[in-house]
Structure 1
Amino acid sequence: QRQSWENLKRSINGTINRLSPSTIKPLIHTLFTTANLLRGRGILARSLLRASQASPQYAPSYAALMAVINTKLPECGELLLTRAILAFRRGYKTRDRNVVSSTLSLLGHLFNQGMAHELLSLQILTVLLDGDPTEDSVDVAVGYMCVVGRQLSEVSPAGVHAVMERFRGLLHEGSIGRRAQYRIESLLKIKKGGFRDYPTIPDEENLDLVEREDQITFELGLDDEGLKKEEGLDVFHYDEEYDENEAEWAKIRAEILGDEDDSSDESGSDSDESEDEKEIADQEFDTGGGQEAKKTVVIQDLTETDLVHLRRTIYLTIMSSATFEECTHKLAKMDIPEGKESELINMIIECCSQERTFLRYYGLVSGRFCLLHERWQDAFEEAFATQYNTIHRLETNKLRNVAKLFGHLLHTDSISWSVLSCIHLNEDETTSSSRIFIKILVQEMAEAMGMVALKQQPATSTREWFKGMFPKDNARNTRYAINFFTSIGLGPLTDGMREFLKNAPK
C-alpha cells in the first residue's frame, strides 16, 4: 500500500508539472488511467495549489483540468476550492501578497469555469476594497477583476456596478498612491470596453472543455466557518479495505473512461449520421410529420425571463454608453415591442434617480426618444403622472433627480405641458414629497427658460393644463399657491393669481 501511495504521488505530481494548454487533453486521460483520484484527491489539491503559486500563468490550465475532473468526481473539486479559499484567508491575514495574488488567480479561473459561485468573487472584491485599502490590495483587486470581470458582468451586473462604483470612489477620494490610481483608471477603460481583451476562457488555448450545464457549482462563501482543509488526505494511511476500495475505483474509472470513449466515438460518427438524419427530417417536414406534428403546443413563460433579460440589456446599455447619441442609437436598435415602452422609460428614470446628482445625459436620451416617435412621447407623459402620484415612495435625492429630468423634458418641449394637469397645488391634495417635486420641477424650468418665458407659458398653452398648479377656484387655494411660489423664490409666477385674489368678491 505504501509503495502504491508513493507511485500515486509521483503520478499526480508529474502530471501537474507537465500540464500546459497543449498537453492538457492527453494528460487528463493519463491521470484517470494511472491514478486513483479519490484516494489521491488531497495530493491533487495540494499539487495544484503549489503549482499555481509557483506558476500563476498556468492557472487557466489548472482550473480547466479540475473543471473536467469535477464533472466526474465533485469531491476533488470541492476540496481544491475549499483549500484555495482557506489559503486566501491565511495569505490576506498575514499580508502575503504573493500567496494572495496567486491563489486569487486560481480562484478566478475556477469561477470562470463555473465551479465557484459569483458570490465568492464579490465577497473577495469587497474584502480587498473595504475600509481603507492599501495600494497592494487595490492592485490585487484590479488584477482579480480583470480575470473575472467578463463572466461576472454576465451573471451579476448589479454586483459589478457596485464594485466599479467603489473603485471610482477610491479614485475620487485621492487617498491612494499614483500607481494604484493609474491601475484603477486602466480598469475603468477595460470595463468600458466590456473586458474585450480578457476573455472568460481563452479560445486559442483550447481550455473550454466542459459544457456549462454539465458543470457542478459549489456555493462556498469566503466567510463560511465549516470549511476544513482535510490535511489527513495528504499523507499515507493504512487501508484495511484496500482491495475493495481499489475495485470500486476500477469500476468508477471504467465508467469515466467509457464515457470519454463513447463521446469520442459519437463525435466521429455524428458526421456520418447527420446527412441521414437531415433527409429523414426533411421527409417528415414534407409529409406533414404525421398527426403529432400537426399539434402545436403553446408554451407560456410565467417566469418573465425575457422581461428580465430585456431590463438587464437596457440597464447595461444605458450605463456603458459614452454619449447620449450612442445610448439612444443602441436602445433604438433593440426594437422594443409595442406595449413594453414603459420598461425602457422606467429604466431610464431608475438609472437617473440612482445618480448622486442629476446628469443631463438622461435628459438628452429621454428627449431624443420623445422626438423619435409619438409612442415614446406618450409613454413619458404617462410616466410623469405615475411618478407624481407615487413620488412619496422616493428618497429626497432620487426625487430631486426625477423632478429635474421631467423639468428638462418640459422646457425642451419634448413632452406636452398637458402633463401638469395632474398637479393640484393646494393644502389638501399635496404632500411634503409632492411639494418638493413641484418646487424642483418649476425651479429647473425657470433656470433653463428664464422667468419671463416661464410666466408666459400658461398664456401660450391651453390654460386648462395649469388650472391645478395656479388655482383660481377659491381664495383659500389661491392664497396657498401664492405663498408656495413666493417661498421658493418664484413670486413673479403668482401675478395672475394675485390679480384674481384682488378682484375676487369679498
Structure 2
Amino acid sequence: MQKATQQALYIPPHKLAAAKNSGGRSDDEAYQRLAWEALKKSINGLINKVNSSNIGNVIPELFAEDLIRGAGLLCRSCLRSQMASPCFTDVFAAVIAVVNSRIPEIGELLLKRIVWQLNKSLRCNDKPRLLALAKFVAHLVNQRVAHHTLALELLHRLLENPSDDGVELAVAFLTECGALLHDLSPRGLAACFDRLRDVLHEGEIDKRVQFLIEGLFAIRKANFRGYPAIRPELDLLEDDQQITHDVSLDDSGVDPENSLRFEELGHKLLSLNIAPGQELEICRMLVEACAQEKTYNRIYGLVAQRLSMIRLAYRANFERCFAEQYSTSHRLETNKLRNVATLFAHLIATDALPWDVLGYVRLTEEDTNSSSRIFVKYLFQEMTEQLGIRKLNERLTENAAVLGDSIFPKDSTRNARFSINFFTQIGLGGLTEGMREHLKEMERVAKEDREKKLGGSDSESEVEESSSDDEGRDRKRRRRKSDGRDRKRSRRG
C-alpha cells in the first residue's frame, strides 16, 4: 500500500525541476521515480493538446522526450485520448505515423495493443469501445502504419455472421478507410460490398442499419468524395518514409518464450517424484507465486490448467485452494486478490476446475465482507472477458443444479435483491435476468399471502361484530321481559 501511494504521489514542479538539475545519481530510486513521472506528465500533456493546426509544432516537442523509455506511455496516452475524443482519431494516427517512421517499435506496440483490445471487445460485444478502436485501426491503415490486410480481416470478422451491431461497425469502418481500400485492394473492397448487398437483400437486420448500408453505397458511388483517406494537413510523410506493420487479428498476444516456459514447467512439475498427498503443496505454491506478481501472469493459469486436466489429484487440490483463498480473502491485499481471482477464473472458464466450486461462495450480505466481494467481482469479470457474458450466462444456467442457492440465493427477497444489486454494480447485470424474474415471483406470492391474511382478519371481525349485535338484542329482550314482570307485581300489590 505504501509503495502504491508513493507511485501516485504528487510532485510539485519546483521539486521536480530541482531533482532534474541536482545532478544526482541516475540509478537512485527517488530520482528515477521523479523522472518517470515527469516523462508521463509531459507525454500526456503533448498528446492532449495536439490538433490538426498545431501538430507540426507538437511532434518536435514529442521527439525531444525519451520515447524509447516512454514507448508504453505514448501508446497508452494515445489510446486513452482517442477513446475519450474519437473525433481526433486521424490526428492521433498522424502523430503515430510520424513517430513510427523514426521508431517503428512504437507503431508495432500500439498495433498489438489495439488488436488485443479489439479481440477482447469482440468477445464481450462492447460496442462503444469497438467503434472507437475500429476507427483508430482505419486511420492507422490510412497512414500506412498498419497493412490494409488488417482492415480486410476485420471486415471479414464483422460480416461473417452479420448482426445489427457488426454491420453498423463495418459500415462505419468502410466509411473511414474505404477510399484507401478502393485504391489498394479494389477486389477486397468489392467483396465486402457484395456481402453487404446480400445482407441488405436478406432483410434480417434492423431498418436503421439498412439505411446505413444504403448510405454507404451512395458514398461508394461518389468515389468516397468527402471522405478522403488522409486530410491534406495531416499528410506529413512521403510514401517511402513510412514503415508498415503486418499485424493480424489472429495474433493472440502470447509470447512464444512464455508458451515454451509453460510447456516446460508443466512437464517438469509432472515429472517430479511427488509423494501421494503432496500435490496440495504444489498447488499452494503456484497460487502464492501468482499472488506475489505485480500484475497477473497468465503462465500460472496455463500451468495450473495443465496440471488439473492431466491429474485428478491436482484438480481436487486446486478446488481446495479455491475454498482456502476465498475464506481467507480478508488477509489479501487488493492486488493479490485480483491475481488469485483471475487465476481461478481462468481455471473455471477452461473447465480445468468444476463449476460447482462456485458453491463455496454464498453471495449474501451476512456471508460476505468487502474483501470477499472484491474477490467475486474480479472472478466474474475475468470469466466474462474469457467467455463473454452470453456464454457465461449459459454455463451458469447449465450448472444451476450444482450451484444451488450460492451465487443467486433464492431463500428470501432480501438475499435475492442483494445478489442482483451486486452484479449490476460491477457491470454484469446481464447475469441476473433469471434472478429478477424469480424475485418478481417471490414478491407476488408474498403480496398474495398478505392479502389472504388481511381478508381472513376482516371476515373474523365481521363475525365478531354480528355475534355482539345478537347478544345485545338478546339482552334488550330479557330487560324488557323483566321490566314487564316488575310492573305486573306492582299493580297486584
Normalised TM-score (structure 1): 0.44
TM-score by length of 2: 0.45
